[in-house]
Chains A and B, each alone.
Chain A
Amino acid sequence: MILVIAEQRDGKLNRATWETIAGAQQLAAQTGAPITVLVPGANSAGVAGELAAAQVKEIVTVEHAALEPYTPDGFTAALQDAIGSLSPAQVLLPHTYQTRDFAPKLAARLDRALITDVTAAKAAGGETAFVRPMFQGKLTADVVPQGPGPHFVTFQIGAYRADQAARGQSPAPVRALEVKADAAAIREKPEAPFQQARQAVDLSQAERIVSVGRGIKEQANIAVAQQLAEALHAEIAASRPICDAGWLPMERQVGSSGQTVAPKLYLALGISGAIQHLVGMKGANTVVAINKDADAPIFEIADYGIVGDLFEIVPAIIEAVKK
């Protein structure tokens, strides 16, 4: 049995869990092993219901005083007991900060192999090898876990795609699992989680961004870009001069001195593509550039480039999107 340990806080699921489920399904396809998803922590009903949509055998919720608030001691104690009663062959986790904190301790407590930051799994002579980066990503190693199970594997964020996790025909059954753990033995006394002052606009999470550069010419023309952003359900952003001029607020600036973004679609309107802007959007999946100057550096990195007048092209795109 493959056990996936979900991550949630206050009833909010960490999306990386879906990625891990996708990875587990791929492994299960090779071995035929059933998948169980364990949801630790309080207020897990909503999360369990959400995860039940996945094509897995069952969802197990574990609520215990030792799990709230999160502590590595508490998680280790509770999960050690849960793993004992479920006896999986493999335990898969998303490689989140929380996992990094407790998984090594948990694996060491059980004296089992742990392979971290895995990007892929592949068959290697009847066994499964896990691919993980080494030396700052300069090399990748295929690692086959040794010794008795369960083997612990953490998947790098983005190694599998959440939207590729198969959904079941009917919701998987959800059951609660009782565990024994000594909450009094927890040594850590956590304080309230640190909340970083949130920027009013968090472009880093945007899936689509329409970004404006000096080619927009006047403040009044920002409206054109805004219409496109609305049509595409995209966030609007800009290069430095636009924000310096006050045409858009500073928090919408992308680049080395602004926000770093990684949307699926980055539409650069009249942006020349100076390097300090490029480094802020290099993580974008698909870059579409519209610029009058065919020599503009933005075309060096654009996946699709349109050389032309953005005031002709953008309305046409809006038109096309609305159809």
Chain B
Amino acid sequence: MQIVAFWILLLVFLGAFAAQVARRVQLIAAAPGTIALDQLGSRTSRFLLDVVLQRRTIRERPLTGLMHALVFWGFVAFGGYTLTEFLHGLGIVDLTETGWFHAYRIALTPFAIGVLAGILFLLVRRAVVRPVGLGTKVSLESVVIALFIATLMITFLLTFRLEEASMAGRANWWVHAVVILAFMALIPASKHLHLVLSPITVFLKSPELGNLPNLDFEKEQVGLETVKDLGSKSALDAFTCVECGRCQVNCPAWGAGKELNPKTIVLQTQAALLEGQRDRKLGEVYSEQVLWQCTTCGACENQCPVGIEHLPILIGSRRGLVSNGDAPDYLGAMYNNLERRSNIWGLGYDQRTKFIQSAALEIFDATKHDVLVWLGCAGSFDADFQKSLRSLFSILRAKAIKFGVLSKERCNGDPAKRTGNEYMYQELANGNIEDLKAAAPKKILTSCPHCVKTIGNDYRKFGYDVEIVHSSVFVEELLRSAKAPAERQVVTYHDPCYLGRYAGTVDEPRALLERFGADVKEPERNRDNPYCCGAGGGLLFADKEEEPGSRISDVRFKQLQATGASTVVTACPFCSIMLKGAQASAGAETQFVDLMTFVNGKLTKQA
């Protein structure tokens, strides 16, 4: 009798689960395929770290993350128990009286206590403490599910107290079983679908942060215009979101009071897919204004514990807008500069030539030079950043490094790519690749993190593979034997997003600073999760007053000021421009110095 009842219940709930999951799988399958399975090694290692060891869950929120890990590990540990009990309950096979099952049950006890402790902690956090990232409403369903999980653990622990065959024992068994079934039926329509999907999503997440495949113009690809253009990985992401809000609280735009919230983007995607709004314009789904607020700093994507990629949606939608001529005016001006002068400022290349002459630079010749120094838009035209490059040149010359520069450069294309002007990006990239192939450097050295990312990473998609290093990495290695000066100076260091987060270069700049007499006071948001300066994604040129909230650069400058250090060291020309602007507007006395100028200053002092 009980077996029949259990069969019926199982089929009903399993059917409810399967129907809901099938709907979502269909939506994912109907989306254009963007799922790739390259680089299996790094995918596997990330799976182990982020799923099995719960790295990203724990890293940012250690206590909460650990509590979540206890629940997760408990769930995995209970898999065999649930299966055995279900097989028994369905009358298929009874293994519950075997010796190993007894041992297994005993081994599960600490897990059960762990899950219970973890879920009660998470329940209090969600229902009582209410951190901002979780949204403004208490999610009733999350409370129900937390209570379900607690019930499962309590009913399991009670099995040690109750005779299985007794009335109470049977009731306890049934409560446990029904709660599992109800839980299963609740999962697909809730954020708890991440239980099923997140291991898959984490594995399928591109090993490269902010991975944006090139558009193929031969196939008339123009970027994402409507909901049906969203790729299958984005659809999978939308159903995987666990709504933890890590993307939200780490987003610099959100932090500065703008409308962009990466979590909202993912949930809007989910709603649009479920509601079948296939032909709705993405500029409407997310709002165009919101799409242009992203600095492409990558914090959302990098902090996400369940493998969601936000940048393909944000930049993909920008591509769709640009293709339809819907870019903001300030970008129109920048695109004009790129088109006519191949640099973001719209300045004439005679200025770059003048700099090359005044800094006595040689034109690169692979037979004579060890490295090619890539100047970039800032290095070619920004007199302020050129001071930093002169410092770099002086370090290189002191160490007898032979280097040269290209006689001409175009912008690497980063501002075009990140704002969705793919056509212009490809034009710039192909031109540069042609010149670089002709020059054939073995190694490129640059002081611009955006050039590192674009030339080193994005140019690979055109089949051009070259080693490009940031000056901090190159100089750190070059000056290993330098002696530290006696006097120490307190500084703070601002990690550029494209260096700390994208390239993972966090130790070299600090090692250099320490070596040359700096005591680094870390600001809030540092290393591989810095708070953006506000320049990325074309926003260097935006800075409009009509936007809500404050300037991202002002927010970051305050964070740097709060360290108490009177000197801020930067390692990116665009961070420097933004933060100096914020400093000037704040009327603060804070000094800014580029890493290379700092190092060279100490070197020349010693000599």
Contacts and interface: CB of A to CB of B under 8 A. Distances in A.
Given A241-B587, A257-B541, A275 B577 contact: yes
22 contacts: A137-B340, A240-B581, A240-B584, A240-B585, A241-B585, A256-B330, A256-B540, A257-B541, A257-B543, A260-B333, A273-B383, A274-B384, A274-B577, A274-B580, A275-B577, A276-B581, A278-B345, A279-B345, A279-B346, A282-B345, A282-B347, A297-B384
A257 B346 contact: no
Nearest to A277: B581
B541 A256 contact: yes
Which of under 10, 10 to 19, 20 to 34, or 35 or more describes the interface residues of B?
A: 20 to 34
B544 A257 contact: yes
Contact of A275 (B333, B384, B543, B587): B384
Contacts of A214: 584
B541 A241 contact: no
Given A250-B545, A300-B383, A276 B540 contact: yes
Contacts, number: 56
A276 B579 CA distance: 12
Most buried by A among B330, B540, B542, B585: B585
A276 B577 contact: yes
Interface in A227-254: 239-241, 244-245, 250
A241 B543 contact: no
B259 interface: no
B94 interface: no
A244 B378 CA distance: 24
B431 to A, nearest CB: 12
B585 A245 contact: yes
Given A275-B381, A275-B382, A245 B543 contact: no
A interface residue count range (under 10 / 10 to 19 / 20 to 34 / 35 or more)? 20 to 34
Contact of B383 (A245, A256, A275, A282): A275
B467 interface: no
7 cross-chain pairs, A with B, having the tightest CB-CB distances, nearest first: A297-B383, A257-B543, A244-B585, A241-B584, A275-B382, A300-B383, A241-B585
Contacts of B346: 279, 282
B477 interface: no
B507 interface: no
Nearest to B337: A279
A214 B340 CA distance: 32
A136 B339 contact: yes
B413 to A, nearest CB: 16
Nearest to B354: A300
Interface string B531-544: 00000000011111
Contacts of B384: 274-275, 297
Nearest to A257: B543
Contacts of B385: 275
B336 to A, nearest CB: 10
A257 B587 CA distance: 19
Given A240-B581, A245-B587, A274-B580, A257 B339 contact: no
B545 A274 contact: no
Contacts of B340: 136-137
Given A256-B543, A257-B542, A279 B577 contact: no
Given A136-B340, A256-B543, A274 B381 contact: no
B585 to A, nearest CB: 4
A239 B340 CA distance: 26
A250 B543 CA distance: 12
B561 to A, nearest CB: 16
Interface in A12-65: none
Contacts of A297: 382-384
A295 to B, nearest CB: 8
Interface centre among A137, A239, A241, A245 (most CB of B within 10 A): A241
B151 to A, nearest CB: 57
Nearest to A275: B382
A170 to B, nearest CB: 45
